Structure 1
Amino acid sequence: MSSAAEILVIIVSVVLSIFLIVGIILAIYLIRLSAEIRRIAQSTQQTVSSLGDAVQGVIKMTSPVILAKTVGQFVKKYTKRSRKGE
């Protein structure tokens, strides 16, 4: 093999080694990133679940309040009409 070919083989080997090292580093960062995304997704899911439970509680509480308010308004209207009619 000529010296030019040996130099090219060495250059290609060095470049491939650099790409291999960069690839390994990127793979490690991607694994860390995916673990962080998984943690964020779980935290978000728990938060949404808690908010859903809170909304359900508010709905259960406001439904009787709204019903009582509506009934109270009808009672007031009925008593006003019956007083006027007397």
Structure 2
Amino acid sequence: MSNRIWKIRGFEGTVLIFERSLPEGSLSESEIIVMLQRLVARHLNEGEVIGGSLRQGTAGYRHDFEVERARGQSFCLMTNGSGTHYTATIEVA
């Protein structure tokens, strides 16, 4: 029997800068989203964090903390809005 894991990866452009595996049941989807947002925040300055925290449509809003499902994957969440991004995929160990 194979185990499913969350595979968390960080990229600077297309270069892999971080990788970690976690058991699938260790975090819910909403907890994974928060974790991805925290990871990407490490690469932002204070003004970018504030802009990313504003409501969508507000002047100064940034897309840095938006997390979306990537196309072409059975299950993948991906941050966007900056040169550094993180992904979380469900994979078979």
Larger radius of gyration: 1
TM-score, structure 2 as length reference:
0.19
Counting helix residues as a fraction of each chain, which structure ranks higher?
1
The TM-score normalised by the length of structure 1 is 0.21
Relative CO higher for 1 or 2, CA cutoff 8 Å, sep ≥ 6?
A: 2
Larger strand proportion of the pair: 2
